[in-house]
Structure 1
Amino acid sequence: MDNTNEVKKNFGQRAYEYRLSSTHGNPKDLDRMIGLIDPNFNDDVLDVATGAGHTAIALAKFAKKVTAIDITPEMLAEAKIASIQDGISNITFRTENVHNLNISDGQFDIVASRFAVHHFSDVRNALREMCRVLKPGGKLYILDCSVVDGDESEKVINRIELLRDSSHQYSYSPRLWNQLLQDLPLTIVHASLLQSEYKLPVWFDRMGTSQSNREEIFKLLNNLSSECKVNYPFGNDYITTYRYELLATKN
């Protein structure tokens, strides 16, 4: 189901909070990304669903130029503010939908996307588009919300994510990522599942999650099987989460 309007609504009214987000702007995560991608000053980079611009700004410091795209104008406005504050001048900001990019084939040395794939309504088409605009030998980097393999975690954790954010589509487990990637013209260089935490109530507050939905989320967590709770410890001030990180080259 196309969730474009829901994404624009949810993130348009909260763009400022996302510019200040310690999750999206985590220096350790961004440094790890730079180390994996190893960009150089000849690289032409595309940042897909840039949000408040954290990824684009980090890459712009090491690349020739960056094109940062998003479907939410308010997010692009915040990303521009952030780039100016950082003294970055080699980023072009454009309104684009990843499912139908107005970009020619093979334009970019690097295509990157962080914390966005779980919002894509047609993930297979979006990934094909990202590969299409990548040059042969170019690098694809993705970091996104994920879940531990298994029917229970794949179902319940995605239910939790949807209760928190009505524009959420799906957080893919490593098992499902393998299925998504198998038909793409890619060679996997790096893939890992990283454990992290959502800090509460910040994670709820950033998306304006209702009190009833917050309570429902904790009911779901409390009702997890003992096996699943091992992978998803939680408390009043945190919830365990996972991220899938991918670096691949285009064949």
Structure 2
Amino acid sequence: MDSLLAALRAAAEPTRLRLLALAGRGAFCVTEFCEILGQSQPRLSRHLKLMTEAGLLERVREGANAWYALPSGDAGDPAATGLARDLAARLPDDDAVLAADARQAARVLAERARAASETFRRQGADWDEMRALDLPAAAVEQRLLDLLPDHGLGRLLDIGTGTGRLLEVLAPRVAAGLGIDASKAMLALARTRLAGEGLGHCSVRQGDMYRMPLADASFDLVTMHMVLHYAEDPAGAIAEAARVLRPGGRLIIVELAAHDRADVIERFAHRWSGFSPAQLAALLGANALLAEPPALVDAPLPILVCPARRSAEALPARLSALAV
């Protein structure tokens, strides 16, 4: 009761409702909020601090920036989380002030995307790996979708989310989506992508896939799309994915099949030359995951789409220890 009353009091102010409406569109930093609302940083910082303490917003630190978004539900008071999302959904789209904020937010998001793209060009990373390898991205996405029901997938975690494309693809089927990536430049592009209509329930954050700041057994579906061939420790990455997966939950790995293309490994700095179905099944089985028959997508470099389920049994002790 006390926490809910505190959250209600924290929301009952015009600027804070405007911040909630913006947070419903995606994550913003304080500087961006200042640009959109036309208010000073000290003033908005006080509002954001109060709202974060009340559980209405989630604050995620990345380097020099802190990003604010609607709470994801990983931590904090469920009542405040529900209130924040309900209030954001109930705010009228035709309100003149909120409509003006939305127009300004669109401008800020466009500028963010432009800046992120320029950073990628300067670093020589302004390319999509599927396209660069001449791989059929649409066919791979369709094969993945064919493995899943049309709705009711619960909570999704996309490990190594990159530009957030898989979150966008699966958004209509999940209750909430979270992407983890180590690259701040990638996350900037992902946040711009997720500012689109119907994607407010998806978010991204910076994190290490070997030690994610997430609770045990907190996701119904985990995806790893073209991640393992870069991983120094594929077994460790799968172990961490298993840790956050609920009993009976699903893990889907999209990965290059084993190949002998040394030119590809050298050009794109891959750590591994793909994986065979047997290798992936062994990695999955060692981590309380029951491998299902993989699908093969034909391409110049064939791609495996490998589904698995987490056993209903308790995780091995060594996996639980990873969360400590």
Match of residue 271 from structure 2: 168
Distance 1:167 1:80 in 2: 26
The CA distance in 1 between the partners of 2:174 and 2:147, in whole Å, is 14
Change (3 A) 1:14 1:79: farther
Gaps of 5+ in 2: 1-118, 312-324
Partner of 1:234: none
Deviation at 1:130, TM superposition (A): 0.2
Distance change (3 Å), C-alpha of 1:79 and 1:100? same
Counterpart selection for 2:284 from 176, 181, 201: 181
Amino acid at match of 2:145: I
Q: Which moved more, 1:40-49 or 1:114-123?
A: 40-49
Which one has a bigger Cα radius of gyration? 2
1:65/1:14 Cα in 2 relative to 1: closer, same or farther (>3 Å)?
Answer: farther
Looking at structure 2, the residues matched to 182 and 76 of structure 1 have their Cα atoms a distance apart, in angstroms, of 31
Could you say which residue in structure 1 is the equivalent of 2:162?
A: 51
Aligned equivalents of 1:188 and 1:11: distance in 2?
Answer: 39
Q: Describe the shift of the 1:171–1:246 C-alpha distance in structure 2 as closer, same or farther (beyond 3 A).
A: same
Aligned length: 192
Instruction: Report whether the alignment pairs 1:248 with 2:308.
Output: yes
**Following the alignment from structure 1 to structure 2, what is the Cα–Cα distance between the partners of residues 185 and 11?**
41
Contact kept, 8 Å, 1:37 with 1:139, in 2: the verdict is no
Q: CA deviation at 1:19?
A: 9.3
Which position in structure 1 is the counterpart of 2:190? 79
Query: How many Å apart are 1:124 and its aligned residue?
Result: 0.6
Specify the code of the residue in structure 2 equivalent to 1:250.
R
- Name the SS of the counterpart of 1:80 in structure 2: helix
Q: Which has the higher contact order (CA 8 A, sep 6+)?
A: 1
CA contact (8 A) 2:284 2:290 kept: no
Residue identity opposite 2:286 in structure 1:
D
The answer to whether structure 1 residue 132 and structure 2 residue 235 are counterparts is no
Task: Quote the residue 2:147 is aligned against.
Answer: 36
Q: 1:67 Cα shift?
A: 0.5
Contact 2:177 2:203 in 1 (8 A): yes
The partner residue of 2:298 within 189, 195, 199 is: 195
Whichever residue aligns with residue 252 of structure 2, its letter is Y
Q: What residue identity is the alignment partner of 1:247?
A: P
The 2-side partners of 1:15 and 1:132 are apart by 31
Confirm whether residue 13 of structure 1 aligns to residue 123 of structure 2. yes
Please show how residues 111-150 of structure 1 align to structure 2 within 5 Å. 111-147=222-258
Q: TM-score w.r.t. structure 1 length?
A: 0.68
- Cα distance change on mapping 1:184 and 1:42 into 2, 3 Å: closer
After superposition, the CA RMSD in angstroms is 2.8
Question: Relative to structure 1, is the Cα distance of residues 55 and 192 closer, same or farther in structure 2, using a 3 angstrom cutoff?
Answer: same
**2:209 alignment counterpart:** 98
% identical equivalent positions: 22
Structure 2: distance between partners of 1:50 and 1:245: 16
Contact 2:156 2:176 in 1 (8 A): yes
